[in-house]
């Protein structure tokens, strides 16, 4: 899968990166920079900051922008620097979109409003306001389980017809038929990305061109290998990797997915399990279940063919015009 257009910033394995925090609760920027550089060196295609896994709901707008600032000088040219935008007020999301563009983001992941679950007209108006406020390629995030709003293919088509900045959908309804419906109705007008880790094989088979991935934070090599095997139609290899990976990928689909994935990162020596309240770190049986699952999977970790790292030229910071 190659990039050939603005829409293609959402193609491939895009990591919904976690946000590391120090002991005092502030963002640990040096750890973040190290982590995203390591992910880029392990072959991922994009990094999206401040999403659900990035604990975006407890980040200020200024903190979101600071994470984009961190990305730009670190990522090689081929890795897309992306930012999720979300808030309880539409005007605040519009401001976030403009700030992310000014900081140099290559695209935006646009979430529904926090807290308020609007009807179809309100949800469409929210997305329209954000899409109309930027020239960046935007991916709409559809996750009815988490956010209580379900944006169907017909609504996506309406938005895409009015707003050329809408180039993709992160589909997290859990219903793989949504991907086929989106492809049937919109064709190549939008790219579809799998939004749930434990649906990636089914999603790619249904036509998804991207994967906004969670466990890739800790296991990028296996994530890239799985996605590429599925994309090239190597069904035996994809099924083998998927069967191994599935117990870990399911951590992405529970209410405590942030805590679980951060704990996996920490156990792999890649970061800290610290989270921001109201989330609390896992303890007792919950913690041990995650670690036991990880130990079991690592004991059977698949052997991957060696391949050169794809960390190429580091780009200079690029700023939007004032």
Is 242 a known active-site residue? no
What secondary structure does DSSP assign to 236-300, as a single string? HHHHHHHHHHHHHHGGGGSTTHHHHHHHHHHHTTSS-----TT-----HHHHHHHHHHHHHHHHT
Q: Inform me whether the pLDDT recorded for 311 exceeds 60.
A: no
- Rounded average pLDDT over 46-57: 98
Mean pLDDT, to the nearest integer, of 175-195? Answer: 96
Residue 262, in any domain of the structure: no
Structural domain contains residue 145 = yes
The structure tokens listed for 321 are 């015009």
141 is catalytic: yes
User: How far apart, in Å, are the Cα atoms of 49 and each of 39, 75, 156?
Assistant: 13, 13, 23
CATH of the domain at 139: 3.20.20.70
Assign 308 a pLDDT band (cuts: 50, 70, 90): very low
Please give the pLDDT value at position 306.
62
Number of domains in the chain: 1
Residue 282 maps to a domain:
no
Closest CA to 170 of 219, 108, 86: 108
Judge whether 122 lies within some domain: yes
Is residue 273 a part of any domain in this protein?
Answer: no
Which entry of 124, 147, 170, 242 is annotated as an active-site residue? 170
Residue 118 lies in a domain: yes
Which of these, 64, 74, 5, 3, lies nearest to 37 by C-alpha position?
A: 74
pLDDT value at position 322? Answer: 29
Tell me which of 141, 147, 183, 262 is the catalytic residue: 141
Q: Which of 8, 92, 74, 80 is nearest to 44 (CA)?
A: 80
Does residue 74 register a pLDDT over 50? yes
Q: How much is the average pLDDT of 141-151?
A: 92
- pTM for the structure as a whole: 0.92
Cross-strand bridge partners of residue 12 = 210
| Structural domain for 89, as ranges | 8-237
**What is the arithmetic mean of pLDDT over 194-219?**
97
pLDDT in tens, 209-258: 999 999 999 999 999 999 999 999 999 999 999 999 999 999 999 999 99
What is the rounded CA–CA span in Å between residue 215 and residue 263? Answer: 11
CB atoms within 10 A of CB 164: 13
Check whether 124 has a pLDDT greater than 90: yes
Is residue 301 in some structural domain?
no
Instruction: Evaluate whether residue 316 is within a structural domain.
Output: no
* Cα separation, 217 vs 260, whole angstroms: 12
Q: What is the pLDDT of residue 312?
A: 38
């Amino acid at each position: 899968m190659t990039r050939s257009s603005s829409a293609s910033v959402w193609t491939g394995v895009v990591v919904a990166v976690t946000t590391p925090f120090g002991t005092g609760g502030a963002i640990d920027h040096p750890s973040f920079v190290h982590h995203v550089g390591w992910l880029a060196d392990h072959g991922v295609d994009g990094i999206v900051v401040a999403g659900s896994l990035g604990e975006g709901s407890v980040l200020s707008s200024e903190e979101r922008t600071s994470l984009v600032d961190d990305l730009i000088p670190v990522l090689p040219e081929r890795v897309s620097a992306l930012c999720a935008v979300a808030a309880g007020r539409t005007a605040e999301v519009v401001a976030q979109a403009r700030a992310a563009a000014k900081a140099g983001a290559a695209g935006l992941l646009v979430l529904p409003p926090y807290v308020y679950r609007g009807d179809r007209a309100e949800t469409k108006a929210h997305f329209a306001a954000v899409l109309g406020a930027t020239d960046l390629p935007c991916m709409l995030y559809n996750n009815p389980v988490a956010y209580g709003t379900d944006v169907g293919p017909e609504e996506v088509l309406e938005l895409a017809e009015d707003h050329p900045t809408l180039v993709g959908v992160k589909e997290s309804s859990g219903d793989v038929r949504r991907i086929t419906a989106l492809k049937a109705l919109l064709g190549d007008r939008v790219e579809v990305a799998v939004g749930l880790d434990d649906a990636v094989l089914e999603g790619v088979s249904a036509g998804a061109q991207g994967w906004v991935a969670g466990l890739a934070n800790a296991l990028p090599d296996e994530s890239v290998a799985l996605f590429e095997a599925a994309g090239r139609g190597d069904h035996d290899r994809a099924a083998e990797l998927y069967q191994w990976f599935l117990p870990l990928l399911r951590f992405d689909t529970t209410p405590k997915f942030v805590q679980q994935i951060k704990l996996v990162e920490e156990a792999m020596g890649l970061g800290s399990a610290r989270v921001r309240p109201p989330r609390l770190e896992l303890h007792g049986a919950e913690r041990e279940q995650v670690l036991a699952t990880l130990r079991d999977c690592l004991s059977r970790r698949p052997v991957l063919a060696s391949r050169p790292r794809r960390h190429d030229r580091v780009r200079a910071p690029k700023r939007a015009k004032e």
